[in-house]
Amino acid sequence: MSTKHDEGELHRTAGGWIAEHRGTPVPAFLKLAYVGFCASGFWYLFACWLGETSHPTRAALAAEIDRAFEAPATWWHVTLAVILAGFVAGLLWFTFLAEDAE
């Protein structure tokens, strides 16, 4: 049985579990998913700055943890934001701007 693409054009990763043809662009829906994941990461970082104190079931636990450990230091949130921003920048650069590495 012949196929349009021969085995030499396939790029295999994850021990052969993922195979794609070389030069295949990232699909638009996957690009949008990357943007959504990154946006939700930033939203979670800032929305849950002191815990989910407005959540119907976890509010009491989050408030108690905040009292026990005090408010997290701002430097900790800045560190997390910088790490997340670096990841997001790399992911979006790879997704939208990077050419095929091979």
Residue 92 within any structural domain of the chain: yes
Is 4 within the bounds of a domain? Answer: no
pLDDT-derived band at 86, boundaries 50, 70, 90: very high
Q: How many domains does the chain have?
A: 1
- Domain housing 31: 26-96
CB 11 within 8 A of CB 102: yes
pLDDT confidence band for 47 (50 / 70 / 90)? confident
Assess if residue 87 is contained within a domain: yes
* 51-81 pLDDT tens trace: 677 778 878 887 787 778 776 667 877 888 8
pTM value?
0.53
**Contact present, 21 and 9 (Cβ < 8 Å):** yes
In a domain, 38, yes or no: yes
CA dist 100 → 1, 16, 27 (Å): 29, 19, 14
